[in-house]
């Protein structure tokens, strides 16, 4: 579906009719009717994935995230654990891995010297895994409201804003509809 991503009604800028604002508030109130997010991770996640699931599920309770989103959160945690695993492989083996090598034995004055020559090198496959999981993590984090940009779109107010004199008079008009 093309178009702009939805934002919380309190962060909408520009002129909106009272009917549009009322419809938007009703849609937002319906978000709270879904089952709340549980903090127990799925069994199929590895240890790193389970830790990440627990960590972010606590933080996501402040956002309009529900149990329906648990699969997306599990996928995020799984990609996160794969990213960590690939990073550990890169730290251990480096960016390049030796594909083929050949040994030469040289004997000179009764001393045998072994010379190893690398025939070809290629990029460690863990590097590609890190790039791919990094893209997935960024996309899922944005969808779940875990990036600064996505939280700015939500702009969930913590306290009720002070009303101006103009707002006090405008509230009386709400009863007409």
Whole domain around residue 65: which residue ranges? 36-95+123-152
Phi, psi dihedrals of residue 76, rounded to the nearest 5°: -60, -50
Q: Is 164 part of a structural domain of the chain? A: no
Q: Is 109 part of a structural domain of the chain? A: no
**Which residues in the chain show pLDDT less than 50?**
1-7, 9, 11, 177
Q: What's residue 99's pLDDT?
A: 67
Residue 158: other Cβ atoms inside 10 A: 5
Q: Is 145 part of a structural domain of the chain? A: yes
Q: What's residue 37's pLDDT?
A: 73
Q: What's residue 85's pLDDT?
A: 96
pTM: 0.59
Q: Is 48 part of a structural domain of the chain? A: yes
Q: Is 111 part of a structural domain of the chain? A: no
pLDDT digits (tens, 9 = 90+) for 131-154: 999 999 999 988 888 877 777 766
Q: Is 54 part of a structural domain of the chain? A: yes
**Into how many domains does the chain fold?**
1
Q: Is 61 part of a structural domain of the chain? A: yes
Q: What is the dihedral of CA 88, 91, 93, 95, to 10 degrees?
A: 110
Token representation of residue 115: 């010379």
Q: Is 132 part of a structural domain of the chain? A: yes
């Amino acid at each position: 579906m093309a178009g702009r991503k939805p934002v919380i009604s309190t962060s909408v800028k520009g002129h909106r009719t009272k009917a549009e604002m009322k419809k938007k508030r009703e849609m937002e109130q319906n978000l709270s009717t879904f089952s709340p997010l549980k903090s127990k991770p799925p069994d199929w996640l590895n240890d790193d994935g389970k830790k990440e699931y627990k960590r972010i599920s606590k933080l996501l309770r402040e956002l309009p995230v529900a149990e329906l989103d648990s699969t997306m959160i599990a996928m995020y945690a799984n990609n996160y654990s794969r990213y960590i695993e690939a990073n550990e492989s890169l730290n251990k083996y480096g960016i390049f891995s030796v594909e083929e090598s050949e040994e030469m034995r040289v004997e000179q004055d009764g001393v045998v010297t072994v010379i190893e020559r690398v025939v070809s090198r290629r990029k460690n496959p863990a590097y590609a895994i890190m790039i791919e999981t990094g893209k997935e993590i960024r996309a899922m984090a944005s969808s779940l409201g875990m990036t600064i940009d996505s939280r700015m779109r939500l702009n969930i107010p913590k306290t009720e804003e002070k009303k101006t004199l103009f707002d006090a008079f405008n509230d009386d008009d709400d009863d007409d509809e």
